[in-house]
Amino acid sequence: MNYEKKFKALLEKYQRLEQQLEGLLIDSDKKLPSYLENNNEMFVIIELIFDTNNQAVDFYFRKVNSTFQKIIGLPIEEIIDHKVNDIFVIVENYWFETFARVLKTGNTQSFQNYSKELQKYFEIYACKVNEQEIAIIFNEIPENTKKLTQLKETKAKVVALNISKDRLLTVIAHDLRSPFNVILGYSNLLIENATANRNLEETLKYSTILYTKAKESLVMLDNILEWGNTQNEYVNFKIEKIRINILIEEMIQILHPSASIKKISLVFNASDPIAVLADRNMLKSIFVNLISNAIKFTNANGEIQISSSIQNDFCEVRISDNGVGIDPKKQAELFKSNKNTSSIGTAGESGSGLGLLICKEFVQMNHGEIKSESKIGRGSSFIFTLPLSL
């Protein structure tokens, strides 16, 4: 980079603004009103306020142009003859010291400043008008403002990624490890049973527990992989026409073995045929997570109802159970990525807490919405929408 050339350009710009300010002081009664009204930069004239030690501590706005008023966002009567400390929350002492120096020496001063209230960077040029007043031009530096915005966006992404990383590490270190310990323990019991030729009923009991824990582990592993995939901004997905009733029936067949272990009925209240626009794999993942959750929090011999209906230009899918319900405080945090809302199921089932976050991500990526309804002791409903294929 040619720093000498860049410095020369900045010097020329400063000299030009300095001449512009000084030119206003000549016959100022005629030139200032015109400049105030016709300049796109923020322009003000201030009068400093000094304390008993002759230190500048505040200033009055005596004149401002329409650009300043527009950016500040206040009516003119709330700016003119009002103190800067009454308008802005924080004003650095450096401002008062610099303006007092301008008033004392008569030399034009310039400096850069970031305004938290306006969220902009400015070059500020101050020039003495008379023994009481100073004229100031605020020249925005859009490059710095843009860089600051990009920095804030990057910081927000890093924070979100760290939350995701911590969540995944917790799942891998604890939630995913726990079911494998159960699987290993009961596998050993099965081996002992087979070796000792013990009764079939006990073997069936251990096999059922093994199946349940293996299924939990698989769902958790799928969720970890899918959650990691949702954090990639270049996720590829294919929108296609899907007959929702047919897909629901397929998912009930897939999840029926899990429900039958707890003797839970999966009931589909079929509607007229409905076609939606969505990614098939994402939609399957939504159903697996929501129905598996319903099974997890429904007692033995319970019932889960699934229905679909048309609501305006969307298909609404409702998955309702008559299980234990959700505490209102926890319900408010179900879809928040920085909260771990995982709970133990009615048969001791564990989970990662990622399932509902994945559902939210996938529903939103398919241009729908998701919400929950629940009452303690009476069950829960999860409702999501998808755009219709017309």
Q: Model confidence over 203-224: pLDDT tens digits? A: 666 677 676 667 666 666 666 6
High-pLDDT (> 70) share of the chain, %: 62
Q: What percent of the chain has pLDDT over 90?
A: 24
Sheet holding 120-128, edge to edge: 56-64, 42-50, 133-140, 120-128, 109-115
Nearest-angstrom CA–CA distance, 144 and 199 = 77
Across 19-33, 174-188, 257-271, 369-383, the highest mean pLDDT is recorded for 369-383
CB distance 87 to 115 below 8 Å: no
Asked if 67 and 89 count as a contact pair (C-beta separation under 8 A), the reply is no
Dihedral, CA of residue 185, residue 187, residue 188 and residue 191, to nearest 10:
160
Output DSSP code: residue 348: S
Burial of 29 (0-12, 13-18, 19+ CB in 10 A): exposed
Give the span between the Cα atoms of 160 and 190, in whole angstroms. 44
pTM of the predicted model, to two decimals?
0.50
Residue with tokens 């969307």: 314
Per-residue pLDDT band for 7 (boundaries 50, 70, 90) equals very low
Q: Is a pLDDT exceeding 90 seen at residue 322? A: yes
CB atoms within 10 A of CB 299: 15
In the chain, DSSP assigns E strands to 42-50, 56-64, 109-115, 120-128, 133-140, 239-243, 265-269, 275-279, 303-311, 314-321, 370-375, 379-387
Query: CA angle at residue 96 from 27 to 41, to 5 degrees?
Result: 50
pLDDT above 50 (res 354): yes
What per-residue confidence (pLDDT) applies to 82? 92
Q: Please give the torsion angle defined by the CA atoms of residues 102, 107, 113 and 118, in that order, rounded to the nearest 10 degrees.
A: 70
- 143: pLDDT confidence band, cut at 50, 70 and 90? low
The 3-state secondary structure of 203-241, one letter per residue = HHHHHHHHHHHHHHHHHHHHHHHHHHHHCCCCCCCCEEE
CB atoms within 10 A of CB 47: 18
Q: With 80 as the cut, is the pLDDT of residue 263 above it?
A: yes
Degrees, nearest 5: CA angle 25-30-33: 90
Instruction: List the strands of the sheet with 303-311, edge to edge.
Output: 265-269, 303-311, 314-321, 379-387, 370-375
Higher pLDDT, 171 or 380: 380
- Is the pLDDT at 43 greater than 70, yes or no? yes
Confirm if 61 and 79 have CB atoms less than 8 A apart: yes
Q: Could you tell me the CA-to-CA distances from 111 to 13, 233, 300, 335 in Å, in that order? A: 13, 40, 72, 46
Rounded mean pLDDT, 127-155: 72
pLDDT average, residue stretch 38-47: 77
Mean local confidence (pLDDT), 368-377: 93
